[in-house]
Amino acid sequence: MNVKRRRFLRAAMPYLMLTPAALFLLLFLAYPLFSVFGLSLQNYNVARLNQRGFIGLENFAKIFTDDNVFFKSLGISFRWVVSEVVIQLFLGFWLALLLDKTFRGRGVVRSLVFLPWAMSGVVTAMIWSLIFNQNIGVLNDLFRKLGIITKDVAWLANAKTVLWSCITAEVWRGIPFFAITLLASLQNIPTDLYEACRVDGGRPWQEIVYIKLPFLKNTIILTTLLRAVWEFNNVDLLFTLTNGGPSNRTMTLTMYMTTTSVNNNNYGYGAALAVIAFFILLMFALVYLKLSNFGKED
């Protein structure tokens, strides 16, 4: 009997050790997720609680048939995510190649490069709001001295420049993420491959194309997927810089969801937007991993 009990305890011990983590996930992830799904089927406006009640799919019907801001925000989200991921990946890759080399002061340079990643979106927004400031901003002063502009530009209030201004600020914060992850993968590449390439007369660009990029494939797929999801859900920087303005030019889908729920107190409609965003990200992740053959050898 004692032997059977010991065997049972030994077999059950891993599950017992995982129980606290499982309960934590259920409490802080599963419950809020199902709450949002339930809330999306209700008319729940804090300003009109007397009208609260179950309305089925009316919120979703209104979104797809009578909400012009939704489709506009979806287009802005697409432009935002694609621009951020492509630019950050390109610059982060070349920065990782630079930091992979040996030179004096490399540790200090790495620390400075990774510094923006340690900052919150609110702090980043405050820094760049000062840079873009029409009256005291560094950017206007620099461009005037270079002769690029003749009068100050309101970068965050101009409908033509506001989106790319916000993209620039977020690119600055996001480059270190790609640089860190790609640098870690670069340092795992066997040095024998580089030596063989040089012996065969390979050039530096051939090392990148035929050695580094194949080894970085899975890292690039995973990091771009994670960054796309994070940028799609980005709220803090946009909320602090522009609050979706001017004229909804920086109103991404998650920004629209936030303003609808927090500013307009319409939590039912905001939850419906959140459910749509969830399924958009879910389908994107599944299709992206399938088409990219993540984890499979070529």
Band (pLDDT 50/70/90 cuts) for residue 83 is: very high
pLDDT computed for residue 2 by the predictor: 67
DSSP 3-state helix, strand, coil percentages of the chain (rounded to 5)? 75, 0, 25
The Cα 292–Cα 221 span in angstroms is 7
pTM: predicted TM-score of the whole model, two decimal places = 0.86
> Would you say residue 298 has pLDDT above 60?
no
Phi and psi for 54 in degrees, rounded to 5?
A: -75, 130
Contacts of 49 (CB under 8 A, 6+ apart): none
The Cα 179–Cα 147 span in angstroms is 33
- Name the CATH topology of 72-263+282-292: MetI-like fold (1.10.3720)
Band (pLDDT 50/70/90 cuts) for residue 165 is: very high
pLDDT computed for residue 297 by the predictor: 62
User: Strands, E, within the chain: which ranges?
Assistant: 42-43, 53-54
> Would you say residue 71 has pLDDT above 90?
yes
Query: Residue 224 burial (CB < 10 Å; 0-12/13-18/19+)?
Result: middle
> Would you say residue 4 has pLDDT above 80?
no
How do the domains of the chain map onto residue ranges?
A: 1-30, 72-263+282-292
Average pLDDT over residues 273-282: 93
pLDDT computed for residue 169 by the predictor: 93
Higher local confidence (pLDDT), 193 or 34: 34
Residues 148-162: pLDDT tens digits? 888 888 999 888 899
**pLDDT, averaged across the chain:** 86
Residues 214-231: pLDDT tens digits? 888 888 999 999 999 999
